[in-house]
Amino acid sequence: MSISNHLVIGVDYGSDSARAILIDAESGKELALSVKEYTRWKKGMYCDPVNYQFRQHPLDYIESLEFIINDVINKVPGSRDRVKALAIDVTCSTPIVVDKEGTPLSLRPDFAENPNGMFILWKDHTGIEECDHINEFSQKWHTDYTKYAGGGGNYSAEHFWAKALHVFKTDPDVRKVGHSFVDACDWLSNVIVGINKPEELKRNICTAGFKVLWNKEWGGYPPNEYFKALDPVLDGLVNTFSKEVYTCVEPIGHLTDEWANRLGLTTNVIVAAGNIDAHAGGIGAGVKNKAIVQIIGTSTCDIIVGPKSNGDRLIPGISGQADDSIIPGMIGYEAGQSVYGDYYAWFKKVLMWPLREIFAKTSLVDEETKQKVIDEVYAKMIPTLAEQAKLIPTKDSHIIATDWINGRRTPNVDYTQKGTITGLALSSSTPLIYKAIVEATAYGSRAIVEQFINNGIEIEEIIAVGGISQKSPYVMQVLSDVLGMPIKVIATREACALGVAMCASVAAGIYPKLEIAQEKMGMGISTVYTPNPDNHAHYNNEYKKYKKLDSVKELTQ
């Protein structure tokens, strides 16, 4: 294999696993890919789904990092000395409490099994009450510091301060020892270059601007007086953050001797500032002005960038916006849905119940055959439902579902919102219900697109990446029909890892700016979905019904 001397590594930490890609930045060719599931997470350790608690142990992250980077290097002989840089993205906001030395509490013997000393995964909603307090308080304070991170009462329970406040309020032992909080992408990127103490950490502008309330308008982070008034347990926490933040293409250091050895690399490797996974995915998919990137997986993130000439235009009800985020030199915007693929997975789980709870316990069939039947039904469930749903004439759809089964992220965050399925009749079939669920996720996407357009953001192109965009043609066609716009699917399943690899190439000086790295390293389009005019007309009417269901919230509490 012929390779250049300009290799870079992109590392993407998802909800269930981490992956690394080794890219030849000169040719744009992907040389190797490695994926590792989180061992403890896979066992369900430290999580309590009923109470919306989702925690991940830092050892899962460390062990995964060592495995995947060594793996991609070993797959490409001669690559070790040619790697110029690497960059890391992580689901966000996924913060962890650290002591004065910067050690995550769960890496200390006294907190080794305490979930509050672990990474609080993005989808952890244990801080809903604290989030409500932040929103209420911020609306009364002389400056609404949340206005660029949701704003108008839309700061999210998935964001940094809601989680920090929840942990410090509910766990006095952690509060006593905890000195600071740091998001996963910043902790991982800094630890491998030897920066540990919280006050010295080089934090990235994407996380800071979207999740931690940093903004140039008020000179960085909100002042300590705001947090102290918000709740005394936060007193002094913001003072543990360094004042400077870094764009995704800025280098923050080189691998230390220890980490170069552990990762099978050299100390010449430059490490770029950390990044949010969705922002990295937007970069990898080719986000640009007037193009929205939809990263469609278990949940979704919708990424847009716009020129700074947009000025102080504030988009209400979205996850956030920040200057110089996503693409340095532009304004980055983010929205998203709390569930997408997770909604389909929930329905499959419901349908599998008789097999797992009745058939699996029958004495009429031997164990080997039972397991084979269960495995086959599980594997064929969604593809078969999609095939059957596709055959149902759109005009025969009489069910309307909503996609708020895990609360609503945007537009207008509300994690107490519940999902609904209405319009059921004795004639309602399983494929028809599945069809309604797919349509519900598409309606949620349309609500986001409309939120941007109605607030002055031009959208001329829709780009999709993520697992569902690659493997679910039926879902993507429904999405195109509902939106009434073509959808271009990028020919990569690793847009996030590719995006941070692009950032690494700029940090190493291989390319002068991110837009050029996108051009040189970007993947082509694999599929284009074009809307059916008749279906779109039908969905215009059905979408109005979906919107009306927002008013029945009180019936689901």
pLDDT tens-digit series, residues 196-236:
999 999 999 999 999 999 999 999 999 999 999 999 999 99
Residue that the structure tokens 């293409």 belong to? 249
- Helix (H/G/I), strand (E/B), else coil: 315: coil
Beta strands (DSSP E) in 62-146 are: 83-90, 95-98, 119-120
Find the helix or strand (DSSP H, E) in which 246 lies: strand 245-246
Task: Give residue 42's region: left, alpha or beta (phi > 0; psi -120 to 50).
Answer: alpha
Q: Which residue has the higher pLDDT, 266 or 152?
A: 266
Which range among 194-203, 390-399, 505-514 shows the weakest confidence by mean pLDDT?
390-399
In this predicted structure, what is the pLDDT of residue 154?
A: 85
Statement: residue 556 has pLDDT above 60 = no
Which residues make Cβ contacts (< 8 Å) with residue 199, sequence separation at least 6?
180, 240, 241, 242
Instruction: Quote the tokens at residue 334.
Output: 């983010």
- Chain segment 353-396, per-residue pLDDT in tens: 999 999 999 999 999 999 999 999 999 999 999 999 999 998 88
How high is the pLDDT of residue 309? Answer: 81
The tokens for 80 are 């070790």
Confirm whether 463 is domain-assigned: yes
Site of tokens 């040189």: 520
User: Does residue 182 form part of some domain?
Assistant: no
Sign of CA dihedral 454, 460, 464, 469: positive
Mean pLDDT on 113-121: 98
Strands (E), 278-384: 291-296, 300-306, 320-323, 331-337
Residue 373 lies in a domain: yes
User: What stretch of H or E contains 489?
Assistant: strand 487-490
Nearest-angstrom CA–CA distance, 135 and 140? 9
- What are the structure tokens assigned to 278, written together? 């969705």
pLDDT surpassing 60 at residue 472: yes
State yes or no: pLDDT of 557 exceeds 60.
Answer: no
Nearest to 336 by CA among 374, 290, 294: 294
Say if 212 falls within a structural domain. Answer: no
- Give pLDDT, residue 416: 86
Segment 455-482 shows an average pLDDT of 96
**Number of structural domains found in the chain:** 1
**Which of 155, 133, 320 has the alpha carbon at shortest distance from 229?**
133
- What confidence tier does 246 reach under pLDDT thresholds 50, 70, 90? very high
Q: How much is the average pLDDT of 535-545?
A: 96
- pLDDT one-digit tens code per residue, 50-67: 999 999 999 999 999 999
Q: Between residues 262 and 415, which one has the greater pLDDT?
A: 262
- Judge whether residue 136 has pLDDT over 70: yes
Composition of the chain by helix, strand, coil, percent to 5: 45, 20, 35
User: 30, 502 in Cβ contact below 8 A?
Assistant: no
**Dihedral, CA of residue 158, residue 161, residue 166 and residue 168, to nearest 10:** 150
CB 67 within 8 A of CB 34: yes
For tokens 């793996």, the residue is 71
Band of the pLDDT at 552, cuts 50, 70, 90? low
Give tens-digit pLDDT for 176-191: 999 999 999 999 999 9
Is residue 381 in some structural domain? yes
- Smallest CA-to-CA distance from 348 within 375, 381, 374, 371 is with 381
Tokens 């999580």 belong to: 47
The confidence band for 151, taking pLDDT boundaries of 50, 70 and 90, is low
The pLDDT of residue 355: 97
Nearest-angstrom CA–CA distance, 83 and 393: 53
**DSSP strand pairing (461-465 vs 421-422):** unpaired
Cβ neighbors of 546 (< 8 A, separation 6 or more) are 400, 402, 440, 443
- Asked if the structure places residue 94 within a domain, the reply is no
Q: Is residue 418 part of a domain?
A: yes
The end-to-end CA distance of the chain, in Å, is 60
pLDDT at 397: 85
How confident is the model at residue 458, as a pLDDT? Answer: 94
Identify the CATH number of the domain in which residue 467 sits: 3.30.420.40
pLDDT tens-digit map of 77-108: 999 999 999 999 999 999 999 999 999 999 99
User: Which helix (H) or strand (E) element contains residue 204?
Assistant: strand 203-204
Distance from C-alpha of 272 to C-alpha of 511, rounded to nearest angstrom: 14
- φ/ψ bin of 423: left (φ > 0), alpha (ψ from -120 to 50), beta (otherwise): left
Range of the domain at 398: 341-492+526-556
Is residue 546 pLDDT above 80, yes or no? yes
Lowest mean pLDDT among 280-294, 300-314, 483-497: 300-314
Residue-level pLDDT at 415: 86
Quickly state the pLDDT bin for 311 (edges 50, 70, 90): low
Q: What is the pLDDT of residue 37?
A: 97
Rg (CA), the chain: 23
Backbone angles phi, psi at 351, to 5 degrees: -70, -25
Residue 463: closest CA among 378, 539, 526: 526
Confidence label for 298 from pLDDT (cuts 50, 70 and 90): confident
| pTM of the full structure | 0.92
Structure tokens at 199: 């006050």
Q: How far apart are CA 446 and CA 462, in angstroms?
A: 12
| Averaged pLDDT of the chain | 95
Q: Per the domain annotation, does 425 fall within a domain?
A: yes
